[in-house]
Amino acid sequence: MKIIVDENIPQAHEAFCGFGNVVFLSGREITNDNLKDADILLIRSITKVNESLLKGTKVKFIATATAGTDHIDKEYLINNGIVFADAAGCNSFSVAEYFTASVSRIFSANKFSFEGKTLGVVGIGNVGSKVVRFGKTLGFKVLMNDPPLERKFSSLEFVSMDRILNCNIITLHVPLYKSGIDKTVHLIDEERLNKIKSGTILINASRGAVVDNNALKNRLKTNNDLITVFDVWEDEPALDYELLEKINFGSVHIAGYSYEGKVNGTEIIYNNLCAYLNTTPKWKPKYPSIEKKEIIVNKEKRIEDLLDEIITQIYNISDDDKLIREGIIIDNENRSKYFDLLRKSYSVRREFNNYTIRLNFLDSEIKRKLESLRFNVI
């Protein structure tokens, strides 16, 4: 049995080499030619799976070690009897922590207060539901928008996009739907961008095309009055560097790139492959030790500043922003390669639940908030 595996799937050697002849390739180098005699294909998000990739091959099982599936032509797989599995939810805490790192940095740096602010969360799936939880922990009034869930549950908890556009913070966590009643391509288009009030924080950690990047660029060039955090971009990896220069914090589609998030993806597709092959799972992921697991906070301070102080010691969003901006001086031909290189060589980032916070002062409310964010507190 021949298995083609994206070389960027963590711990893939340990997980899959026991199943047969495993060939590791860069995700962008997986082609129809090298799939001709393959039985199984295991990928991440940069490999477009469609008729062009699969026609004439004998591939019968495909899995993506990612939560998003907009790179998969599911209809083609169904029509051709190809079994498919994804890793839904694998990196949901990672993205929620990226959101938390973003807002704590912005609120601390600008001396804003969490109190009294409204947070609009668009898309209440595995990621969005955790962002809602974290947002409430921070003290935001949280509004939710998710038309498919609203139709399914007839819930009064959901609000219109117009209500969302009036929030102090808008964060997007929807899948990419290119057509239909729930189309999300350019969900935030020029018309909706013009409705967003000055000073709003706009975060996109879903898919680049959910926001009309050109319309946003024009808004920011004309009136640079939004605070923007963008992890995803239209036409990745060939992002618009003119837009990047107007963004407050940018990164290379790594919001879900915690070590746990990536390894969770490996484990999920491994278990699905075992089920497909009717084999008992034997492999379990291993996690490297963390050198500094305890973070000491010596004095009481504003929650916005305290959170930023803690999170920066775990994950400094400014480091990712600095790296993506270094691509500005690279020639156009090599910028896409640089984008991919940053993703491939991304440093190990561990999730909040691995860390213990030692508070050298007594504050039960701060302790409760930190624990709700999954920190251990002593």
The string of pLDDT tens digits covering residues 115-143 is 999 999 999 999 999 999 999 999 999 99
> What percentage of the chain carries pLDDT values higher than 70?
100
Mean pLDDT value across residues 5-9? 96
Q: Domain spanning 92-250 has what CATH number?
A: 3.40.50.720
pLDDT tens, position by position, 35-61: 999 999 999 999 999 999 999 999 999
pLDDT band at 28; cut points 50, 70, 90: very high
- pLDDT, position 146: 97
- pLDDT, position 362: 87
pTM (whole model) above 0.85: yes
186 catalytic? Reply is: no
- pLDDT, position 73: 97
Q: Where in the chain is the domain with CATH 3.40.50.720?
A: 2-86+259-276, 92-250
Mean pLDDT value across residues 71-77? 96
Q: Which SS3 state, helix, strand or coil, does residue 122 take?
A: strand
> What percentage of the chain carries pLDDT values higher than 90?
98
Catalytic residue among 173, 207, 350, 374: 207
253 catalytic? Reply is: yes
160 pLDDT exceeds 90?
Answer: yes
Beta bridge partners of 4: 23, 41
pLDDT band at 318; cut points 50, 70, 90: very high
Q: 355-371 as b/e, with b when 16 or more CB fall inside 10 Å? A: bebebeeeeeebeebbe
pLDDT tens, position by position, 173-207: 999 999 999 999 999 999 999 999 999 999 999 99
Of 259, 253, 61, whose CA–CA distance to 176 is shortest? 253
pLDDT band at 19; cut points 50, 70, 90: very high
pLDDT band at 154; cut points 50, 70, 90: confident
- pLDDT, position 298: 92
**Residue 170 structure tokens:** 């808008």
- pLDDT, position 101: 98
pLDDT band at 156; cut points 50, 70, 90: confident
Catalytic residue among 173, 192, 234, 236: 236
**Residue 93 structure tokens:** 């805490």
Long-range contacts of 215-222, Cβ-Cβ distance < 8 Å, separation of 24 or more:
215/186, 215/189, 215/190, 216/188, 216/243, 217/242, 217/243, 217/246, 218/190, 219/190, 219/193, 219/194, 220/246, 220/247, 221/246
* Domain 2-86+259-276, CATH class in plain words: alpha beta
- pLDDT, position 354: 98
Averaged pLDDT score across all residues of the chain:
96
71 catalytic? Reply is: no
Q: State CA 70 to chain mean position distance.
A: 14
Catalytic residue among 192, 253, 349, 350: 253
- pLDDT, position 377: 97
d(CA 311, CA 290): 15
